[in-house]
Amino acid sequence: MTQQKNVAGHVYTVELRFSGDQLEPSEVSSRLNLQPSREFSSSQNQLVMRTRRPYWAYNGQGEIGFQPEWACLEDGLEFLLKGLRPRKAEVIALALQFDGLWWCGHFQASFDGGPTLSPKLLTELGSYEISLSIDNYFNDE
């Protein structure tokens, strides 16, 4: 585990996401040879009341070491990167074609902390030329 240990009341989720009006989730899966954790295709818009943008999301589910929630954001992102490094060129190509995003959910029950990311991790994430988003959610239960 990295320097930041588990801070009580804070958990994280991580995903690599691609979205776009012309995105076909099966194409992304084929190009990366990965199964998405979540996906939505344009053909599914016929089944919902509100039109949604097609997307493909990957969190590493099914891979050794997968955790649906992480006590440390850096550990979750490192896990995701480990599986994507061999596919880096294709991830970058997809990010040029569609909207790419490193998406992180920060679920907190207190306001006494949050994630810390190392320069090494930030450099590697930046090398993919994909934005990082940390969405914060508060739950006082």
Tell me what pLDDT residue 139 has. 77
The domain segmentation of the chain, as residue ranges, is 10-138
What are the Cα distances from residue 114, in Å, to 14, 15, 17?
Answer: 15, 18, 22
pTM of the prediction? 0.86
Q: Which residues of the chain have pLDDT under 70?
A: 1-8, 42-51, 140-141
Per-residue model confidence as pLDDT tens digits over 33-61: 999 999 987 665 555 566 678 999 999 99
Backbone angles phi, psi at 102, to 5 degrees: -85, 110
In angstroms, the CA 75 to CA 44 distance is: 34
Per-residue model confidence as pLDDT tens digits over 81-92: 999 999 999 999
| Most distant CA atoms of the chain, gap in Å | 47
Structure token digits, residue 67: 């955790």
